[in-house]
Amino acid sequence: MAIKAVISGALGRMGGTVGRIISEAHDLELVGGIDVKKGSLFGTEVVPATGIDAFFKEKKPDVLIDFSVAAAAVENIKAAARNNVALVVGTTGFSPAQRKEIESAVEGKVPAVISSNFSVGVNIFWKLVREAARQLGDYDIEVTEAHHRYKKDAPSGTAKTILDILDQELGEREKVYGRVGATERKDEIGVHVIRGGDIVGDHSVLFAGNFECIEISHRAYDRAVFAQGAIRAARWIVGREPRIYTMQDVLGL
């Protein structure tokens, strides 16, 4: 039996990409979308978020894949949990309070994969950053990310995950977001955000020592890498124990 999927943020950049790949897959069935905009998604109905409970009852999806905006995603996640629908959440930009709301809605109720980046490459990149931080904690560290001109949140969710990894390995360090004027470098972590054009998603972490630098970087060329990862997570999550998983769990990393 095909896995039935609904996409939230259906008419956005990621929603469209995920929708296209699901509509071409034999083991998945796209049963509709949720969005504030009007439209349809590969021949399926897209309804406003206000009708989400009725839509779930009618379509009986196995999984909701959410690529929308933070405030909307929190409400869509609560609705999925109320209706016993598994979750794949790619939306970024959650505040710590929103993250807590999500945890209490999901834990013990439905299984959910939540990741700031579903690309396989980025999940490997995070592991390399962790290893470099373990070995090079006394080097100066600078994180840089670049995305398209329409991105709503900064720094990216992926960059925030990088900062979490660095904090876990090195202890919490001050973050300096861009620099201007006189600077005196201490052991802060510099964070730099670029927005422009149609950049799909670039991240790099520079470890700078005396006489050498190591730079670990990832560049996405097409949103399909995120969409394929999210779909891999959707296949994996249905039927799991009701708790929050990461993409590292999906990949067995």
What are the catalytic residues? 147, 151
Contacts 24+ apart (CB under 8 A), 182-190: 185/140, 187/140, 189/141, 189/142, 189/143, 189/163, 190/140, 190/141, 190/142, 190/143
- Residue 8 binds: one of ligand NAD, ligand LLHOTIJI, none (C-beta under 5 to 8 A by kind): ligand NAD
Minimum distance of ligand LLHOTIJI from residue 15's CB (angstroms): 12
Q: Is 115 in the site for ligand NAD (CB under 6 A)?
A: yes
Nearest residue (CB) to ligand LLHOTIJI, 76 versus 117: 117
Of the pair 226, 245, the CB lying nearest ligand LLHOTIJI is at: 226
Rg (CA), the chain: 19
Looking at residues 179 to 208 of the shown chain, list those that interact with ligand LLHOTIJI (rule: CB under 6 A).
Answer: 201
**DSSP string for residues in 33-53:** EE-SS--EETTEEEE-GGGHH
Please check whether residue 105 is in contact with residue 79, taking contact to mean a CB–CB distance below 8 angstroms. no
Residue in this structure with the two tokens 């980025």, named with its chain if needed: 122
Binding ligand NAD (rule: CB under 6 A), the pick from 3, 6, 11, 163 is 11
68 contributes a contact to ligand NAD by CB under 6 A: yes
Q: Residue 188 carries which DSSP code?
A: -
Give the Cα separation of 80 and 72 in Å (integer).
12
**Cβ proximity to ligand NAD, 55 vs 207, nearer residue:** 55
Give the type of residue at 101. Answer: E
Nearer to ligand LLHOTIJI, 57 or 152 (CB): 152
Encoded one letter per residue, x for contact with ligand NAD by CB under 6 A and - for no contact, window 199-238 reads ---------------------------x------------
Distances (CA, A) of 87 to 91, 149, 186, 196, 245: 12, 28, 42, 31, 10
Q: Tell me which of ligand NAD, ligand LLHOTIJI, none is bound by residue 44, counting a contact when its beta carbon lies within the kind-specific cut-off of 5 to 8 angstroms.
A: none
140-147 and 175-177 beta bridge pairing? unpaired
| Binding-site size, ligand NAD (CB under 6 A) | 28
**Could you tell me which stretch among 68-76, 135-143, 164-172, 209-217 binds ligand NAD (CB under 6 A)?**
68-76
Rounded to 10 degrees, the C-alpha dihedral 167/170/175/181 comes to -170
Q: Which residues are annotated as a binding site?
A: 9-14, 35, 90-92, 115-118, 148, 157-158
**Binding site residues, ligand NAD, CB under 6 A:** 8-9, 11-15, 34-37, 49, 67-69, 72, 76, 90-93, 115-118, 153, 157, 226
Interface with ligand LLHOTIJI (CB under 6 A):
92, 116-117, 147, 151, 156-158, 201
